[in-house]
Chains A and B, each alone.
Chain A
Amino acid sequence: MLRYALKRLVSLALSLIVASVVIFSMVEVVPGDPAAYMLGINATEDTLAALRDQLGLNGTLIERYLSWVGGMLRGDFGTSYTYRTPVAEMIGERLWISLPLALYALTLSTLIAFPAGIWAASRRGKLADVSVMGITQLGVAIPNFWFAMLMVLVFAINLRWFSAGGFAGWEKGVFPAMKSLTLPAIALALPQASILARVMRSSLLDTLGEDFIRTARAKGLSKRQALWRHALRNALIPVLTIIGLQFSFLMAGAIIIENVFFLPGLGRLVFQSISARDLIVVESVVMLLVFAVVVVNFAVDLAYAVVDPRLRVRT
């Protein structure tokens, strides 16, 4: 187990190093001078020189890369050019919206998908199964930002149950804050819930066809008992992997959904920085999100190996 964990840790470190090189070089290959790119054509020579200095553009390529990575390891993400504030501080503020949103969506998606998947599998071929499969087929195909707009139309504009966008702020209390995250979380969760329900159903059906279920039935357990006591636990393994992978989709999906609802999270920060050509912020936020995704996948791999010892052998 230790050897497996170490191996995964090395590949985690490698992934992060390559990711940082890719992200760094992408910003480096901006045609011409990044400082000139950020400031536009009307910049004076003085401001250009000042920004070059601030970006550390005067060193060699390797010096600049090392100082960028070194800074991030110390928690120093540089200073935003447009906002003139430390990027780490901006990310810290925005994280209080993006992270709860992703977790809220993940919870919703699991809460919808589990019962739906189990229900469909236990009534295979019947109306319940066909309806769940039909609805999830739609859920997978619907663009989530469009679904978000439709929800705004129905629940915010027509019924006035929710506000159409913006964030109430945590200082107003947990309930108003969660309320402003509810429509975005549903929009994010729907496609993920559809995928998860389908995986749950097919994994459960596979398990229900196994010999040990037949043995359990032969011992006199009812179909329902066999499903709840024996099949469900075994069917959960692939489902857990998908939940881990969904984290990455939720982080990326949140970038677009935050823009639909004007939520001041990381996603909106990325877009504001893109339009302001504030590459320091873009670079850092992207690196941070990639870091989060890679670490979550690493944790899922480890959890997976704890649950299923057979996987430790495979690399």
Chain B
Amino acid sequence: MTEEGIWQAALRSRNLVLGACLTLVFVGAALLSFLWVPYDVTVMDIPNKMQGPAGAHPLGTDHFGRDILSMIMVGARTSIAVALVAVGIGMGLGVPLGLAAAAKKGSLLDEVIMRGNDLVFAFPSLLIAIMITAVFGASALNAIIAIGIFNIPVFARLVRGAALSLWTRDYVMAARVAGKGATRISFEHILPNVTNLLIVQGTIQFSLGILAEAGLSYVGLGAQPPIPSWGRMLADSQTMISFAPHMAMFPGLAILLTVLGLNLMGDGLRDLFDPRIRRGTR
């Protein structure tokens, strides 16, 4: 497909456009929060606590009188940063491992890498994340590590599978004849051809990371106060849900819409990159 053709197809895909818009809204809100937020999220305003959505506070205020819109904007920063770095860890370690396993298919290295992957896969990720944060203390950094570890086998497996079929291609054979080593072939010829797959999987892992971060900070094992996070906003709102339901509504919607946006974008990108998948069959 030509470059122009891809853009046209992308604009025609409803999933992709809707998903990208939703994602842009939250990424935009996170970026904007570095420059400007309606109210300072570290300042309490007790006289105005738990007010419903109204003019001065479009999404209302929490039990300390903090502006919920501002907290969601700053919370987006936490969620996106945690999930993004966790995907980075997964890709940074998983992709080279997958490439190495494919390049040395059937070797001891391949076996060790793949069995290691199976092991990590067998563990309930959230449980180990909880264990990590329990032992090393609750913090955003530990949440990132805990979520990141479980991204490694996802990417390693994906890259190995895709790379194995690429290794049988003629152009890889030509590169070998030209005297290029396995490492050089992996990075010059295999990696560029799995980028599409990585982008799609990266989007999906990003959305799972946001859900995981929300879950961890909901139970108090993610980012610690005073850093706002969507999960902890929900935890704070729980006991007040009967008289201040707006406190629970908006952070939850923020998580739902961000994850939905990323999932739709992932689906849209997959359809776009792989025209063989007929629209609507998967």
Contacts and interface: CB of A to CB of B under 8 A. Distances in A.
Interface string B233-273: 01001100110010010001001110110011000000000
Interface residues of A, number: 48
> Which secondary structure dominates chain A's binding surface?
helix
B127 A290 contact: yes
A30 B135 contact: yes
A219 B180 CA distance: 56
Contacts of A27: 135
Contacts of B130: 255, 270, 274, 286
A297 B123 CA distance: 10
Given A251-B124, A252-B126, A282 B256 contact: no
B125 interface: yes
Given A153-B248, A252-B124, A138 B256 contact: yes
A289 B127 contact: yes
Interface residues of B, number: 40
A88 to B, nearest CB: 19
Interface stretch (A45-53, A143-151, A177-185, A227-235): A143-151
Contacts, number: 118
A141 B260 contact: yes
Nearest to A149: B248
A205 interface: yes
A271 interface: yes
B146 to A, nearest CB: 11
A286 B134 CA distance: 11
A46 B40 CA distance: 49
Given A15-B119, A141-B263, A143-B256, A255 B245 contact: no
A274 B33 CA distance: 34
Contacts of B54: none
> Which secondary structure dominates chain B's binding surface?
helix
A80 interface: no
Interface string B113-139: 001001100111111101110110000
B263 A142 contact: no
A142 B260 CA distance: 8
A65 interface: no
Contacts of A152: 241
Interface in B1-39: none
A30 B132 CA distance: 10
Closest 8 pairs between A and B when the two form their complex, measured CB to CB: A252-B124, A146-B252, A252-B126, A141-B260, A141-B259, A274-B134, A248-B124, A157-B242
Interface of A: 11, 14-15, 18-19, 23, 26-27, 29-30, 124-125, 129, 137-138, 140-143, 145-146, 149-150, 152-153, 157, 202, 205, 248-249, 251-253, 255-256, 259-260, 270-271, 274, 279, 282, 286, 289-290, 293-294, 297
